[in-house]
Amino acid sequence: MTASRMPEAPEAARTPEAPEALPHGRLPRTVWSQALRDNRRALAGWTAGTALAGAMYASFYPQIGGSMGDLTRSFPEGLRQAFHMEDLSSAAGYLGSTPFGLVVPLLALFHGAAAGARAVAGDEESGYLDLLLAHPVGRVRLVLQRYAALATGSAAVAGGVLLMMLAVRGPADLGGIPVTAFAAQCLNLALFGAFFGALALCIGCFVGRRGTVFGATAAVGVLSYAANALGPLVGLGWTRRFSAFHYYIGGDPLRNGFQWAHAGVLAAVCAVLVLLGAWAFRRRDIGV
Amino acid sequence: MDKAIQLERLAKTYGRRRGLVDLTLDVGRGEVFGFLGPNGAGKSTTIRLLLDLIRPSGGRAVVLGLDPRRDAVELHRRTGYLAGDFTVDGRQTVRECLAFLAALRGGVPERRVTALAERLGLELAPRIRSLSKGNRQKLGLVQAFMHEPELLVLDEPTSGLDPLVQQVFLDLVREARAEGRTVFMSSHVMSEVQAVADRVAIIREGRLVTVDTVSSLRERAVRTVELHFDGPAPAGEFEGLPGVTDVVAEGPRLRCRIAGSPDALVKAAARHTVTGLLCEEPDLEELFFAYYRNGGGDDRVTDA
């Protein structure tokens, strides 16, 4: 049982059209590593897409930043606050508006929601979990490892964005933002995606229907955006505290660097959601 | 522990729908046990209860001496399972899937996996998405058998397999029994289990109808017999024979239904020149009818 494990195929025999994404040749396969492997193409797509979207917006800064700054100065204060357009002329202010305030987090949100909905509910509906859970893998272990894969994916997306930002930092005139500030914003981005992943996973652990899970998570995402951006406009400043967007960008990491308290809140909520989900998943029937 | 599976008044309700009603059943170690019933009778429900995929609403199950819920991981280590609708991630290749599942079990000798795949005629290189239903089922069989588990729980294992592969499957089951392992397999077709099973349980609408050996079930079964004579069929001679009913003659052809021993029928036919003889396998519904008619099941079918 020791030396001869299941086949690691010789490289040549392995499906030639699918180069290995992970150097897993001698690594033990786990629920975590297999989930990453199975999702490698989707994850590569999300990472590339999100990073490119960020880069595209960033590259507009030299042309748009200044003029948009002039334009938005005439907007009402509340509106400018809502859409993070208080200061479009500075690099940090520009990036904090549409690119990091809306487009990039929205992509991270949907990546998290989609991956989280698939992690339990999707594979439960397809019947795949029946197979995995008939193996010597505890339900809690399955949930935790699936979530670890999701969080790794979210970190990969944020890491892709970070690398891309560092690559375009010079050419796009973003030198005013320190590397640590980019790192701080991308850390929050990773946690932000992981939060919606945890939420979707948790809902999936209760209901086990992929469509419901994705819809509910996306709805929470939209509400979170509204609570952060629009709540203060109508005199409901307190709604921010319940919004993941607030903990993601409220402390303005692109200007102020690491916001450990906010990052900590996101991480803690992820942990609570995942544990709650694992608790629920342990207790219920697996559907078909 | 001489019992592989012990079920005591096991019950499962889905909302208000009853899935399984007070199922009491023992399966001995080393036994090949057939679990028979029409679609929707509660076979998969029972099997999923055994594996702790769903939880009973009443009664209890002891499998390999373990509590399926409390000792789930230990039980799964010693069990091989093939689901009724076996599903894997279509993005994996066959080899990759088996390597992953083997790793979850702490490793399985590669030799054994490739040998199994070869016997069943399963290629390891293709992506699972591209496999036919039958090939997916073969993959399901390989993963269920590859770690040589003490207990095999197989839900409709032969569905989608061509007859040749079905024979290989039956060989695998016989080998498992020869090695003292227990096989619990469900089916909705009698002929699938009668070739290997020692005993058979029949369930219908969530209730156990009967548990018996294959041979005595067959004795009790009603089957349709068709005889061809070289002249007009002497229908009169067959009516009233013990066990024979529904005699219909059409020219040289005679059809009738026979329950129990065909001895009288054969002896009656032997007085004439018989040019053809056709005996249909009893289907499950007919088995049920036979069971009810003989009265043997009445006491066991009532509300337990």
Set of chain B residues whose Cβ sits within 8 Å of the Cβ of A34:
100
**CA of A217 vs chain B CAs: smallest distance (Å):** 24
B55 contacts A131? CB cut-off 8 A: no
Interface of A with B (CB under 8 A): 1-2, 4-9, 13-15, 28-31, 34, 37-38, 41, 123, 126-128, 130-139, 284-286, 288
pLDDT above 70 (res A233): yes
* ipTM of this predicted structure: 0.83
Instruction: Tell me the pTM.
Output: 0.85
A136 contacts B103? CB cut-off 8 A: no
pLDDT above 50 (res B302): no
Give the model confidence (pLDDT) of B248-286 as tens digits.
Answer: 999 899 999 888 788 888 998 999 999 999 988 766 666
> How do strand B58-63 and strand B3-14 relate by DSSP bridges?
antiparallel
What domains are there in chain B, each with its CATH number?
3-217 (3.40.50.300), 222-281 (3.30.70)
pLDDT above 80 (res A258): yes
pLDDT above 50 (res A1): no
Average pLDDT over residues A203-218: 96
CA separation for the pair A178, A259 (Å, rounded): 15
Give the model confidence (pLDDT) of A141-166 as tens digits.
Answer: 999 999 999 999 999 999 999 999 99
B143 contacts A138? CB cut-off 8 A: no
Q: In the prediction, which pLDDT does A2 show? A: 41
Q: In the prediction, which pLDDT does B10 show? A: 96
pLDDT above 50 (res A85): yes
CA separation for the pair B43, B51 (Å, rounded): 13
CB within 8 Å of A161: residues ≥ 6 apart: A50, A51, A54, A104, A186, A189
The tokens for A29 are 């396969």
Set of chain A residues whose Cβ sits within 8 Å of the Cβ of B73:
136-138
Out of B72, B74, B107, name the one closest to residue A6 (CB): B107
pLDDT above 90 (res A12): no
CA separation for the pair B258, B133 (Å, rounded): 37
Q: In the prediction, which pLDDT does B29 show? A: 96
Give the model confidence (pLDDT) of A265-285 as tens digits.
Answer: 999 999 999 999 999 999 999
Domain boundaries, chain A: 31-63+91-283
More confident residue, B237 or B93: B93
The answer to whether the CB of A161 falls within 8 A of the CB of A51 is yes
> How do strand B17-28 and strand B3-14 relate by DSSP bridges?
antiparallel
Average pLDDT over residues B135-162: 96
> Which residue type sits at A263?
A
Q: What single-letter DSSP state applies at residue A17? A: T
